[in-house]
Chains A and B, each alone.
Chain A
Amino acid sequence: MAEPAAKRRLEELGAEAEAAVAATGAASELEDVRVRYLGRRSELTAALRSIGDLPAEERGAVGQAANAVRVRLEEMIAERVASLEADELERRLEQDRVDVTLLGDPAFPTGHLHLVSEIRRELEDVFVGLGFTVLEGPEVEYEYYNFTALNHPPSHPARLPQDTFYLSDRVLLRTHTSPMQVRAMEAGGPPIYVVVPGRVYRPDTPDATHVPMFHQLEGLAIDEDITLGDLRGVLLEFARAVFGPSRQVRLRPGYFPFTEPSVEVDVSCFVCDGTGAVGSERCPTCKGEAWIEILGAGMVDPNVLGYVEDSGYDPERVQGFAFGMGIERIAMLKYGVPDLRMLWENDVRLLEQFGA
Chain B
Amino acid sequence: MRVPVAWLRSYCDPGLSAAEIADVLTMSGIKVERLHRAGVGDPSAFVIGRVLDAERHPNADRLSVCRVDDGSGEPRTIVCGAPNVAGGQTVAVARPGAVMPDGTELGEAKLRGVRSSGMILAEDELGIGTDHSGILVLEEDGLPPGTPLAEALAIADELIEVEITPNRPDAMGVYGVARDVHAVTGAPLAEDPTAFDVEPAGADRAEEHAHVEIADTEVCLRFTARVFEDVEVGPSPPWLKQRLMAAGQRPISNVVDITNYVMLTCGQPLHAFDLDEVRGSRIVVRRAREDEAMTTLDGVERRFSSDVALVCDSEGPSGIAGVMGGQVSEVSAKTTRVLMEAATWVGPNIMRTSRALGLRTEASARFEKGLHPELAMAGQRLAARLMVELCGARLVPGTLDAYPRPVAPRRVKLRLGRIGSLLGEPMPEDEVHTVLERLGFEVAPDGSGRLAAVVPPSRDGDVQREADLIEEVARIHGLDRLPATLPARRRAVGRLRPAQRLRRRLEDALRDRGLSEVVAYSFTSPSALDRLRVDPADALAIRNPLSEEGSVMRPLLLPGLLDAARHNAAHGRPGLRLFESAHVYAAAGAGEGGDGSDPVQMAEAAPRGALPARERHHLAGLLTEAAPSTWRAEARVADFYAARGLVEALLAIAGVEWRAEPGARPFLHPGRSATVRGAADGRELGWIGELHPLVAREWEVPAAAAFELDADAIDELEPDRGQDGYRDLTSFPAVVQDIAIVVDEGISAARIEAAVRAGAGDLLRSVRIFDLYRGEQLGAGRKSLALRLEFRAPDRTLTDAEVAARRSEIEAALAEIGGALRA
Contacts and interface: CB of A to CB of B under 8 A. Distances in A.
Nearest to A298: B471
Contacts, number: 291
Given A212-B546, A355-B511, A348 B474 contact: no
A160 B612 contact: no
Contact of A227 (B421, B540, B615): B421
B152 to A, nearest CB: 35
A165 B492 contact: no
A329 interface: no
Contact of A253 (B29, B351, B487, B608): B29
A319 B494 contact: no
Nearest to A265: B479
Contact-residue size bin, chain A (C-beta under 8 Å from the other chain):
35 or more
B648 to A, nearest CB: 15
A281 interface: no
Interface in B391-410: none
Contacts of A171: 599-600, 603, 612-613
A143 interface: yes
B26 interface: yes
B577 A111 contact: yes
Interface string A136-152: 10111111110001000
A82 to B, nearest CB: 36
B513 A111 contact: yes
Given A199-B522, A255-B167, A355-B511, A128 B495 contact: yes
Nearest to B497: A134
Contacts of A156: 348
A191 B421 CA distance: 17
A229 B495 contact: no
Contacts of B484: 229, 232-233, 236, 249
A250 B518 contact: no
B492 A131 contact: yes
A153 B507 CA distance: 41
B544 A155 contact: no
Interface residues of B, number: 107
Given A142-B612, A344-B519, A299 B422 contact: yes
B519 A253 contact: no
Nearest to A129: B494
Interface string B340-370: 0000000110011001000000000000100
B333 interface: no
Contacts of B606: 144, 149, 307
B365 to A, nearest CB: 12
Given A117-B517, A124-B496, A255-B167, A167 B541 contact: yes
B593 to A, nearest CB: 9
**A168, A169, A261, A264: most-surrounded residue (chain B CB, <10 A):** A261
B424 A229 contact: yes
Nearest to B513: A108
A186 B594 CA distance: 14
17 contacts: A103-B631, A110-B512, A117-B581, A127-B494, A133-B495, A134-B497, A139-B585, A142-B612, A160-B355, A183-B609, A193-B494, A203-B546, A227-B424, A233-B485, A233-B486, A254-B29, A344-B520
Given A117-B581, A261-B471, A346-B520, 13 more contacts: A113-B516, A128-B494, A128-B496, A131-B494, A134-B495, A134-B500, A140-B585, A140-B613, A156-B348, A225-B421, A233-B483, A250-B480, A260-B468
Interface of A: 102-103, 105-106, 108-114, 116-117, 121, 124, 127-134, 136, 138-145, 149, 153, 155-157, 160-162, 165-171, 173, 183, 186-187, 191-193, 199, 201, 203, 205, 212-213, 221, 223, 225-230, 232-234, 236-237, 249-255, 260-264, 299, 301-302, 307, 319, 343-349, 351-352, 355
